Amino acid sequence: MLDPLIRLKTAHSEGLIPDDVFNLTMKRFPLIINGINRIEKASGIQYPIAYVEPSLIISAPNPNSYEYGILFARTLPVMFDDKFQVVIQISAPLIAYGLKGTIHAILAHEFLHFLELIRKISKMDLLSDEVSGNLFENVYSDETRLFEPRAVFNDRTLLTHITKRFPAGFRDHKLEDKVIHFWADKNLPKINISLDNNTVKLSAESLSKIKISSSFISKIDQLQEKSLKIHKKKLY
């Protein structure tokens, strides 16, 4: 199984990540493991593969914009050797400087994106040439999300973290200030992403090869039905 810390360790060995930042991230990495285990227990579903990206990921609406947002994690659908895989990319700055509740909320949010992606594929409701921009949003907007956290997770504390961090778009000014001061201002590794181009190409042939177990599809359908009922209660 792939070491989720391999890219971080490589960046450190190459001198891109200083010792103090590397040691801090390694020391706090168990928060990620605890969060993933918590989400799996609260949902009854295995968390997708996750790895640590040793860079600050910055997005902008377009290449010429002076406005930008920090992406602390992303849900990435990939095709590898003709096999479909969903990967959760977790930024090292989140691990180093995020509070436990914030880290777990972001992990849970990406998990909801993972479920939505699987739902779209199982229903063939996914465009073959583009993955929805919601999977890469810089403010983690919840307005169009299908799956309700209350339908997926049976962990009250985790639900509280999600509600507090994602009322209508994720912003954590203290975390962002720390990341800018301790990471960006020190010229540590950074990735600039334009949201206009932040898409993944999946051919119709690739989509046709994706196999999802019937039991997983059944679970997704159950969660969808529960989420729709919660949506209706909110409306009325």
| 61 C-beta neighbours (distance < 10 Å), count | 13
Number of H helices, E strands in the chain: 10, 6
* pLDDT at res. 195: 59
pLDDT score recorded for residue 167: 57
Type of residue numbered 48: P
Element (H, E) at 50: strand 49-53
Are residues 84 and 77 in contact, defined by beta-carbon separation less than 8 angstroms? Answer: yes
Is residue 230 within 8 Å of residue 223, measured between CB atoms? no
Nearest to residue 111, comparing CAs of 70, 60, 166? 166
pLDDT of residue 121: 81
Domain chopping of the chain, boundaries: 6-235
The pTM for the full model equals 0.85
- Report d(CA 43, CA 4) in Å as an integer: 22
Q: What is the pLDDT at residue 94?
A: 97
pLDDT of the chain along its 236 residues, tens only?
579 999 999 999 999 999 999 999 999 999 999 999 999 999 999 999 999 999 999 876 555 544 568 889 988 888 776 677 889 999 999 999 999 999 999 999 999 989 988 888 877 665 443 443 433 343 334 445 568 899 999 999 999 988 887 755 567 889 999 999 999 999 999 998 865 554 555 666 666 677 888 899 999 999 999 988 887 776 65
Do 89 and 73 touch, CB atoms closer than 8 A? yes
